[in-house]
Amino acid sequence: MKNAYESLLGGKQGAIGLLVLAVLILVVFPLALDSFRLSMVGKYLTYAFVAVGLVLCWGYGGILSLGQGIFFGLGGYCMAMFLKLEASDPESTKIQSTPGIPDFMDWNQITELPMMWQPFHSFSFTLLAVLAVPTLLALVIGIAMFKRRVGDVYFSIVTQAIAAILTILIIGQQGLTGGVNGITDLRTLNGWDIRDDSSKLILYFVNAALLIGCVLLGRFVLTSKLGRLLMAMRDKEERVRFSGYDVASFKIFVFCLAAAFSAIGGAMFALQVGFMSPSFVGIVPSIEMVIFAAVGGRMSLLGAVYGTLLVSFGKTYFSESFPELWLYLMGGLFIVVVMYFPNGLAGLWESHGRKWLSRFALGNKVFGQSVVKARVMSPVKVATPQPSRELETTP
Amino acid sequence: MNSPAGFQAAKPVLSIEGLSVSFDGFKAVDNLNLYVDRNEVHVVIGPNGAGKTTLLDLICGKTKATAGSIDFDGRELSKMREYDIVRAGVGRKFQNPSIYENLTVFENLEMSYPKGRKVFGALFFKRSAEVIARVEEVAAEIFLSELLDMQADLLSHGQKQWLEIGMLLMQDPALLMLDEPVAGMSVSERVQTAELLNRISQGRSVLVIEHDMEFVKSIAHRVTVLHQGTVLAEGSMEAVQSNPKVIEVYLGH
């Protein structure tokens, strides 16, 4: 019991941090935001899966993947294929020249459901595919790269190339994938309408709970010996190798885990937003996801969630007001964070926020109770401690 | 006179024969023969560029040999993967102390405990009483008992060297290879390290590369002088030091 407390919650500090996040996304957001804004947050939280995965594989494992959109996209496409098949029953597609197949196939003169799509009639197969397809691809990439000791910037470039290739492939195979528009007009999940407000709310909670589950799983990995090995490998790979470890297998594992997290995010995206398109697969979204993790703090699982929320909010706000400026702002933000705050918001919180908070708490002894509340209300400052004392690094 | 069993015991733990490696035509190690006996502290000396570190790289699998064989206790190391070589019982310390600076001394030692070396083994590895006892035992050997909770980057240079030796001891290797273990150490630390090596060479073989002749004298059972990738002389420290060829290429300078 105590073990679970330590390894999943990361002791008292970690438990408080997690609680704050849980209250924020499970209570505060649903109460404070209207359904439009809430579904926006729900969409952002699907990106947070990718950022949490990046903390594991980039922050701790030292593997900078610039192609996490691949896995987000594949997870999303698997889910979207199932939903699209359900939306394309012969009754509602009877005006097509071939009823019973997705509309975009009909527009592309395809007269029969392709083999690749057949198994996606089954929901249990789909759930399996959501996890298995991206993870297996990550396994193949991982084995090909890490067993040959391809690392650092070369690995990043290769992942970026794969993201570009996959985008081109999806756009090119219009009849199979819906091309540049993606798979749109998703309606029901096993007969349950996913478009109305009440089902969106349920999906929001499912998504939030899954995200917290991924954070817990990430904590478990990081507080295990494997987590310490990852850090050891990042600093002294040779020493780990010559201590009897197959370094590649650990890198492959953490890369696959990050891919699986991203895939869950992608599937939840398709469910909540109601479509999936190649614009979430390619280089730009993949790099955006790295920025989420960098801003939040690449050494902090919870920080990555806050980073995702904050940058996504910023993106929505600024791209509405100054559409041309946004890309420059994003690039500038990344440079500033990497150069001056390498541990992101979580690092700032560790070095300044906590001190500020304790001074605040001491000055207002009477309002001691309100401290927790104040933290809830200011997500920017609430970047949470690292999984355990042993894992802390000096910047 | 020699019974078969006695003959077995006399067989070297490490037999290197005809070992060569070339980098772009440059022969860093050239047709080298070297034997390390059981329970022996064998020191390799030689001028810079003689191929000493390359020799250790070849034994531990970091560099692949162009020709020749490296027989360790009946297993051919030159065809094995690095981690399999370690698991077979060869531990190697690098020239610069190579420790995990972000982890504590305890965690550094624990990393080298030979359990949980596979992905899922590491994921479900438990810090059992057995592990803790072993870490404490090794920490006592390397003079770091008091510093188990200290972050490793705060150790002095000499303590880092000891820590790395300790990490190797955790694996209880049959052959321990140390690349310049006293580099950057104070005089008193050198004396302590010599004691440490004499102690840990009980029941295992130690292959050391070192420049410090006083230190070599205090630990070596046998000395091999390398020059241009090949063996120039071999024997006791005294014999080697009085060898005119050795004086000419190395000690004379």
pLDDT of B48 > 90? The answer is no
On whether any CB of chain B is under 8 Å from the CB of A304, the answer is: no
On whether any CB of chain B is under 8 Å from the CB of A238, the answer is: yes
Query: Per the domain annotation, does B125 fall within a domain?
Result: no
- Residues B80, B86, B89: CA angle, nearest 5 degrees: 105
Residues of B in contact with A250 (CB under 8 A): 119, 122
Region B43-58: mean pLDDT is 92
Amino acid at B212: D
Region B214-235: mean pLDDT is 93
Say yes or no for a CB contact (<8 Å) between A241 and B82: yes
In the numeric block, which tokens belong to residue A219?
């904590």
Query: Per the domain annotation, does B217 fall within a domain?
Result: yes
Query: Per the domain annotation, does B114 fall within a domain?
Result: no
pLDDT class for A383, splitting at 50, 70, 90? Answer: very low
pLDDT of B5 > 70? The answer is no
Say yes or no for a CB contact (<8 Å) between B110 and A225: yes
Write down the pLDDT at residue A373: 37
Q: Which chain B residue's Cα is nearest to A238?
A: B98
Mean pLDDT of chain B: 91
Closest CA to A207 of A76, A392, A91: A76
Strand pairing class (B205-209; B41-45): parallel
The rounded Cα A83 to chain-centroid distance in angstroms is 21
> Cα(B176)–Cα(B166) distance, rounded to whole angstroms?
11
3-state secondary structure of A287: helix
pLDDT class for A247, splitting at 50, 70, 90? Answer: very high
In the numeric block, which tokens belong to residue B56?
């250790």
> Cα(A221)–Cα(A225) distance, rounded to whole angstroms?
8
Write down the pLDDT at residue A199: 93
Say yes or no for a CB contact (<8 Å) between B123 and A221: yes
Min Cα distance A148 → chain B (Å) is: 13
Write down the pLDDT at residue A369: 41
pLDDT of A379 > 70? The answer is no
CA distances from residue B214 to A118, B48, B188, B194 in whole angstroms, order as listed? 77, 18, 13, 10
Q: What is the CATH number of the domain that holds B93?
A: 3.40.50.300
Closest CA to A391 of A219, A254, A212: A219
Write down the pLDDT at residue A364: 54
> Cα(A236)–Cα(A229) distance, rounded to whole angstroms?
10
pLDDT of A326 > 90? The answer is no
Query: Per the domain annotation, does B162 fall within a domain?
Result: no
Query: Per the domain annotation, does B60 fall within a domain?
Result: yes
Say yes or no for a CB contact (<8 Å) between B123 and A226: yes
Closest CA to A272 of A180, A218, A194: A194
Q: State pLDDT tens for residues B84-104.
A: 999 999 999 998 889 999 899
Say yes or no for a CB contact (<8 Å) between B122 and A241: no
Write down the pLDDT at residue A92: 87
On whether any CB of chain B is under 8 Å from the CB of A52, the answer is: no
pLDDT of B117 > 90? The answer is yes
Closest CA to A75 of A12, A190, A166: A166
List the domain range (segments joined by +) for residue B202.
Answer: 11-99+172-251
Min Cα distance B209 → chain A (Å) is: 18
> Cα(B186)–Cα(A388) distance, rounded to whole angstroms?
36
Q: State pLDDT tens for residues A91-125.
A: 888 999 989 899 999 999 999 999 999 999 999 99
Structure ipTM: 0.90
pLDDT of B6 > 50? The answer is no
Write down the pLDDT at residue B1: 40
Query: Per the domain annotation, does B220 fall within a domain?
Result: yes
Region B140-154: mean pLDDT is 95
Domain count, chain B: 1
Percent of chain A with pLDDT over 70: 89
In the numeric block, which tokens belong to residue A257?
């885990």
Region A252-264: mean pLDDT is 98
Region B175-187: mean pLDDT is 92
> Cα(A50)–Cα(A33) distance, rounded to whole angstroms?
24
Q: State pLDDT tens for residues B134-143.
A: 999 999 999 9
Give the DSSP per-residue string, A100-115: TS-HHHHHTT--S--G
Region A319-330: mean pLDDT is 83
Query: Per the domain annotation, does B147 fall within a domain?
Result: no
Query: Per the domain annotation, does B19 fall within a domain?
Result: yes
> Cα(B150)–Cα(A390) distance, rounded to whole angstroms?
10
Write down the pLDDT at residue B45: 93
Q: Which chain A residue's Cα is nearest to B95?
A: A239
pLDDT of A44 > 50? The answer is yes
Q: State pLDDT tens for residues B7-20.
A: 445 689 999 999 99
Q: Annotate A140-161 with b (16+ C-beta within 10 A) or e (fewer).
A: ebbeebbeeeebeeebbebbbe
Write down the pLDDT at residue A375: 35
pLDDT class for A328, splitting at 50, 70, 90? Answer: confident
Q: B interface toward A at CB cutoff 8 Å?
A: 60, 62, 81-83, 86-87, 91-92, 94, 98-104, 107, 110-112, 114, 116-119, 122-125, 151, 153, 164, 167, 171
